[in-house]
């Protein structure tokens, strides 16, 4: 079930498993880019960057804009992300 | 190939670590090649479990009532019970909210919320794919 049209932008972008995965990702070498779908606010990118920590500081974060909230907060997201995927 | 992309929508990171390991080995063996690795998170999405039907689809009918709930993702879904891979999604749902299943192949309205999930009234029936 895809949550589309931005109707579920209040739904948390990550669950506990996602956070655990991010911590694991930061330990895996050779990952250059991390694409994050359904981003609706720049703060979400900051959460990812903090979770990746120093170990994952070389990973570039690409925000995917695929909902109306993402379009509305585009400037804010662009400020925080290393790149954008529409 | 200039970029290797791995989408975590299909399996957990743990399940995909072997693929990442294969990529790393291939890259080490080809130091003259330039190839980036892009990992894509699944983000805000909920997946429905597999179908018991051979067609690997689930047909939900217009006007029917469907229970959508978490906690039994390894059990098959059927036209009246959609099991999903998230146990807390109902906390973020609201009555009368529109739910688009499989990118809108079926559309339901939330008519009841309980501790395990939600009840949907299907406004537009359709055939949805398993693991969508």
Of the candidates A14, A19, A12, which has an alpha carbon nearest to the alpha carbon of residue A56? A19
Q: B49 lies in a domain? A: no
Q: Is A1 exposed, middle or buried (0-12, 13-18, 19+ CB in 10 A)?
A: buried
Above 50 in pLDDT, residue A2? no
The residues with which B5 forms a beta bridge, in sequence order, are B38
Work out how many domains chain B is built from and give that number.
2
Residues 33-62 of A with CB under 8 A from B: 33-39, 62
- The span from the CA of B125 to the CA of B130, in Å, is 15
pLDDT of residue A9: 52
- B91 pLDDT tier (thresholds 50, 70, 90): confident
Distance CA B52, CA A72 (A): 41
Interchain proximity A30–B24, CB inside 8 Å:
yes
Q: What is the pLDDT of residues A15-62, one digit of tens each?
A: 667 778 888 888 877 889 999 988 988 999 998 999 888 888 999 999
- Please identify which residue in the block is written with the tokens 């973020």: B92
Angle made by CA atoms B121, B127, B131, in degrees to the nearest 5: 95
Interface predicted TM-score of the whole assembly (ipTM), two decimals: 0.84
Under a CB-based contact definition with an 8 Å cutoff, are residues B39 and B9 in contact?
no
Q: Whole-structure pTM over 0.95, yes or no?
A: no
Whether B99 and A1 have beta carbons less than 8 Å apart is answered as yes
Q: What is the pLDDT of residue A12?
A: 66
Question: Any residues with CB less than 8 A from the CB of B19 and at least 6 apart, and which?
Answer: B6
Average pLDDT of chain B is: 90
Q: How large a percentage of chain B has pLDDT more than 70? A: 99
B111 belongs to a structural domain: yes
Tell me, yes or no, whether B118 and B72 share the same domain. Answer: yes
In this complex, do A31 and B86 lie within 8 Å of one another by their Cβ atoms? no
- Tell whether B29 and B69 lie within a shared domain: no
Q: Predicted confidence band at A10 (pLDDT cuts at 50, 70, 90)?
A: low
Structure tokens at B72: 């039994």
Asked if A32 contacts A59 with a C-beta cutoff of 8 angstroms, the reply is yes
Asked if the Cβ–Cβ distance from B44 to A8 is below 8 Å, we say yes
- Whether residue B77 lies inside any domain: the answer is yes
Contacts of B13 in chain A (CB under 8 A): 21, 24-25
Same domain, B120 and B63: yes
User: In what order do the strands lie in the sheet containing A83-85?
Assistant: A83-85, A60-64, A33-36, B36-40, B3-7
DSSP code of residue A59:
P
pLDDT at A15: 67
Q: What is the pLDDT of residue A6?
A: 42
| Domain containing residue B66: CATH number | 2.40.33.10
Domain residue ranges in chain A? 2-85
Is B46 inside any structural domain? no
> Domain limits at B110?
57-129
Pairwise CA distance, residues B8 & A41, whole Å: 21
- What is the nearest CA distance from B19 to chain A, expressed in angstroms? 12
- On whether any CB of chain A is under 8 Å from the CB of B23, the answer is yes
Element (H, E) at A28: none
In a domain, B48, yes or no: no
Name the 3-class secondary structure at B64.
coil
Mean pLDDT of B55-80: 93
């Amino acid at each position: 079930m895809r949550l589309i049209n931005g109707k579920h932008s209040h739904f948390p972008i990550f669950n506990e498993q996602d956070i655990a995965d991010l911590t694991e990702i930061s330990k895996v070498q050779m990952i250059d880019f991390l694409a994050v779908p359904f981003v609706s606010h720049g703060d979400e990118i900051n959460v990812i960057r903090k979770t990746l920590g120093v170990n994952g500081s070389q990973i570039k974060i690409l925000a995917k804009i695929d909902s109306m909230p993402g379009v509305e907060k585009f400037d804010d997201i662009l400020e925080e992300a290393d790149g954008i995927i529409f | 190939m200039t970029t290797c992309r791995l989408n975590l929508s299909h399996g957990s990171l743990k399940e995909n670590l072997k693929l990442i390991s294969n990529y790393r080995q291939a890259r080490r063996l080809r130091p003259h090649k330039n190839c980036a690795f892009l990992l894509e998170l699944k983000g805000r999405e909920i997946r429905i479990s597999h179908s018991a039907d051979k067609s690997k689809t689930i047909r939900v009918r217009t006007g029917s009532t469907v229970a959508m709930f978490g906690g039994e993702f390894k059990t098959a879904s059927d036209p009246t019970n959609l099991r999903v891979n998230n146990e807390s999604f109902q906390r973020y749902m609201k009555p009368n909210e529109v739910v688009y299943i499989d990118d809108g192949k079926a559309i339901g309205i939330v008519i009841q919320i309980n501790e395990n999930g939600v009840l949907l009234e299907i406004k537009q029936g359709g055939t949805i794919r398993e693991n969508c």
